[in-house]
A and B are shown apart, each in its own frame.
Chain A
Amino acid sequence: MAVCVAIIGKDNAPKFFACANPEEELNFQYKVLSSLDIVEEKLNPTVKTSTADLRELYLGMLYSLETHKIYGYVTNTKIKIIIIVDSTNTSLRDNEIKSMFKKIHSEYADVVCNPFYIPGEPITSKSFAMNIKSIMLQA
């Protein structure tokens, strides 16, 4: 299972943040925001650091720390989704992380199509938060 999911907007402002353990939230926010630099680097076609396919929305693992691994995903509309998982959790495969991203992206698309949501604002929908929580726990 993932310990943290974050959705970051076009302008790199956080739109949504969910943590398994609320006490660690600040710590995770810091990790997520510092990983945005790596996302930018991966998206920049002039820097050829990554061998991964640029056309893929899933960016793979951004970096791994002693305790956590951080994965990134950027949509065509430049919305960044970041997932943090525990390093001790070795049962999670790349494919599962990918499908988790896909699910979160679908949820996000649903929120954007909601006429009561104003694009660019932070997401406050309760049902969205619940759905993300259940995606986090599933994997």
Chain B
Amino acid sequence: MTEDTLFELLHSEVVHYALQNDERSNQDEDLSIIEYIGFSVGYRIIERLTKDMSRFKDELDTMKFICTDFWSAVYKKQIDNLRTNHQGVYVLQDNSFRFLTKISNGKQYLEAASKYVAFTCGVIRGSLSNLNISCLVTAEVQNMPSCKFHIQVQRT
């Protein structure tokens, strides 16, 4: 349990640290730093997580891996809902996203939520990029602990 808490605390410190300079200059929040940290983490960790897996059949197979094994390794639970249009758009829904469960449920902090999902967007993008799927990942928070990640695969 302790390491779980540590990870959450470290994450919130990273968010705080990355946005520190922003607050002083009073500009729009620059989440790209956090997103990039996530990308780098995702790119590296996927090598270890897929080590003992068999080869993925296709894109959907890879997404299923992200929803189950990958999500439980990072967030200790699985994705609650995965939807796709079979044309490269995937929506992953987590009903109690780990980084948001510690924040009050009301509408009060809804604006702040985007800071806490940027890292995860990066992690997803990084892991998929190392698995040779280049994509855009955006997050959407409507009701506090639940969060939707939209993955748009870019085909060339």
Taking Cβ atoms with an 8 Å cutoff, the residues of A that contact B are 10, 54-57, 74-79, 105-106, 108-109, 112-113, 119
Contact = CB atoms under 8 A, between A and B. Distances in A.
Contacts of A55: 54-55, 57
Contacts, number: 43
Nearest to A106: B51
Contacts of B95: none
Contacts of B43: 119
Interface in B56-82: 56-57
A75 B132 contact: no
Contacts of A113: 44-45, 47-48
Contacts of B46: 76-77
5 contacts: A54-B55, A76-B56, A78-B132, A79-B47, A119-B130
Interface of B: 43-48, 50-51, 53-57, 130-132
Contacts of B51: 75, 105-106, 109
Contacts of A54: 55
Nearest to B130: A77
B131 A77 contact: yes
Given A54-B55, A76-B50, A108-B47, 9 more contacts: A10-B132, A55-B57, A74-B55, A76-B131, A77-B130, A106-B51, A113-B47, A113-B48, A119-B43
A55 B53 CA distance: 9
B47 to A, nearest CB: 4
Closest 6 CB pairs of A and B: A76-B50, A55-B54, A109-B48, A112-B47, A109-B47, A55-B55
B54 A57 contact: yes
A70 B48 CA distance: 25
Nearest to A118: B40
Contact of A76 (B44, B45, B55): B55
A24 to B, nearest CB: 30
A56 B47 contact: no
Contacts of B44: 112-113, 119
B48 A76 contact: no
Contacts of B47: 75, 77, 79, 108-109, 112-113
Contacts of B132: 10, 77-78
A106 B57 CA distance: 22
A110 B77 CA distance: 25
